[in-house]
Structure formats: structure tokens, C-alpha cells
């Protein structure tokens, strides 16, 4: 089974996560999603991961990433989402943003790990 390693010490922002995940799976400059929806698509297969034997995502120093992708980075991300989301979604996104600013609600780290665990069960190894 192929193992893709993420160096959590190099993840300071969500953009860092996208870059490092792409490089882990597809080499320098590689792509493996640049937003939550495309990340889900990539986990379904066909974007560099082995189709037959499965794979493992080993997230080393994940505690550093957990802090970096905490509520402040989640709020920063949601500010961008709010600026471009459909008007029917604005109230929900604004509430999520308000929660993140208060240090409440889900964080990007939690969202990413949940996506991995739900879309590719058994593939996440936190170290």
C-alpha cells in the first residue's frame, strides 16, 4: 500500500496544506485539490492515488497542523468563502465565520481529517 507523507511542520495555512498534499501524491508542483470540494473529488481516485491497492495518508507532526489550521485560519478561509458565496448561503457562512472568530465550531484541521476519514476510510494515520 502506498503511503503519502504530509509534514505537518510545514503547514501554516490552508494553502500550504493544498501544496504539500499535491506534492505528496503527485510530486513537485503536483495537484490534489485546491479547495474542499476538489479535495473530496481527488480522494475518490484518478488524481494520482493508486486505484487498486489503496493508500495511506501519514500526517506527521499533525499537532502543529492542528494549531495552524485552527480557528484563526478557519476564520480567514471563511472570510474568502463569504466574499464569493451565493447569496442564499451568506447567512450560514456568516454564522460559521462568527463562530470561528469566537474560537468555536469546526476548524479546518477537523474538516480535513473528517473528509479524509469519510471519503477514504482507513487511510489517515496521524503521527
Residues 68-124 pLDDT 10s: 999 999 999 999 999 999 999 999 999 999 999 999 999 999 999 999 999 888 899
- 61 with 75, same domain: the answer is no
- 75 with 61, same domain: the answer is no
* Neighbour order of strands in the sheet with 2-7: 2-7, 55-60, 124-126
- 83 with 37, same domain: the answer is no
The count of domains in the chain is 2
- 8 with 34, same domain: the answer is yes
Beta-strand ranges (E) seen in the chain are: 2-7, 55-60, 124-126
Full domain range(s) for residue 91: 71-106
- 62 with 112, same domain: the answer is yes
- 99 with 88, same domain: the answer is yes
Write out pLDDT tens, residues 42-51: 988 777 777 6
Residue 14 grid coordinates: 490552508
Q: Please tell me the total number of residues recorded for the chain in this structure.
A: 127
- 102 with 115, same domain: the answer is no
Q: What DSSP element (H or E) covers 106?
A: none
Amino acid at each position: 500500500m502506498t503511503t503519502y507523507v504530509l509534514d505537518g511542520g510545514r503547514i501554516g495555512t490552508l494553502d500550504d496544506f493544498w501544496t504539500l498534499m499535491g506534492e505528496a501524491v503527485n510530486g513537485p508542483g503536483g495537484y490534489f485539490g485546491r479547495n474542499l470540494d476538489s479535495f473530496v473529488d481527488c480522494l475518490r481516485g484518478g488524481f494520482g492515488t493508486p486505484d487498486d491497492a489503496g493508500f495511506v495518508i501519514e500526517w506527521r507532526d499533525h499537532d502543529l497542523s492542528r494549531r495552524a489550521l485552527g480557528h484563526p485560519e478557519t476564520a480567514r478561509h471563511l472570510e474568502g468563502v463569504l466574499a464569493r458565496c451565493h447569496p442564499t448561503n451568506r447567512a450560514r457562512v456568516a454564522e460559521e465565520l462568527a463562530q470561528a472568530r469566537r474560537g468555536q465550531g469546526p476548524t479546518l484541521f477537523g474538516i480535513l481529517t473528517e473528509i479524509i476519514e469519510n471519503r477514504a476510510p482507513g487511510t489517515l494515520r496521524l503521527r
